Amino acid sequence: WKKLYLAHHWPVTVCKMSANDCQDPPEYWTIHGLWPDKAEECNRTWHFNVSEIKDLMSDMRRYWPDVLHSSLNRTQFWKHEWDKHGTCAATLEVLNSQKKYFGKALELYLHVDLNNCLLKAGIKPSSSYYQMTAIKEALTRFYGVTPKIQCLPPEEGEKAQTIGQIEFCFTKELQLRNCTALEGESALMQADLKLGTEELSVCSDTLPTYYPSQVQ
């Protein structure tokens, strides 16, 4: 693999995407995962062990919650992310244990500070619509790189797309880089986003964009 995606998802949109027991989703962007491109499930014998990340637990619950299953034994989401993505990321020395992988993802999340950046740019959840180009420009201006932004396409009778996920890309040295996909790079990552029946896809630049403040 060549780069890492740090995926943030917007909990309100995640809840909108599937029938589930979402209870009061967080009103801030949370971590979906840290994903190497082009690699999945690299070591099926390396099992997730929650006790290895016990020191990270309060941050994990706050910044990396299982949005869809707020009430259940909530380590399942982390196990999935480790099995599918962490075992592949572990070829890098700085990510080569569960504690390092989850710890570094939290560190990158706090460093990127997406919630704060959007607020500073005046982009906050609202009942009125945004232009996707304005959101992109704000992020690119702030970070100096192009992130990948994904939306729920408009439902029947709606005219707006709903913002759902913002991914930042990093080099193997963990430096921010553009996410613009080289040919053939993006097919694999799409598979991770099927929640319920609806799927996220790269946002359209022309559709009005809804950034919802609570689950409808």
Asked if 188 contacts 88 with a C-beta cutoff of 8 angstroms, the reply is: no
Q: Is 69 a catalytic residue?
A: no
Asked if 29 contacts 67 with a C-beta cutoff of 8 angstroms, the reply is: no
Q: Please report, in angstroms and rounded to a whole number, the separation of the first and last CA atoms in the chain.
A: 39
Q: Which amino acid is at 104?
A: K
d(CA 161, CA 209): 5
d(CA 8, CA 26): 12
Considering 85, 93, 111, 156, which one is annotated as catalytic?
85
Considering 41, 81, 155, 156, which one is annotated as catalytic?
81
Rg over CA atoms, the chain: 17
CA angle centred on 193, ends 92 and 163, rounded to 5°: 110
Q: Is 47 a catalytic residue?
A: no
Considering 32, 155, 167, 199, which one is annotated as catalytic?
32
Joined together, the tokens standing for residue 142 give 């702030």
Q: Which residues are catalytic?
A: 32, 81, 85
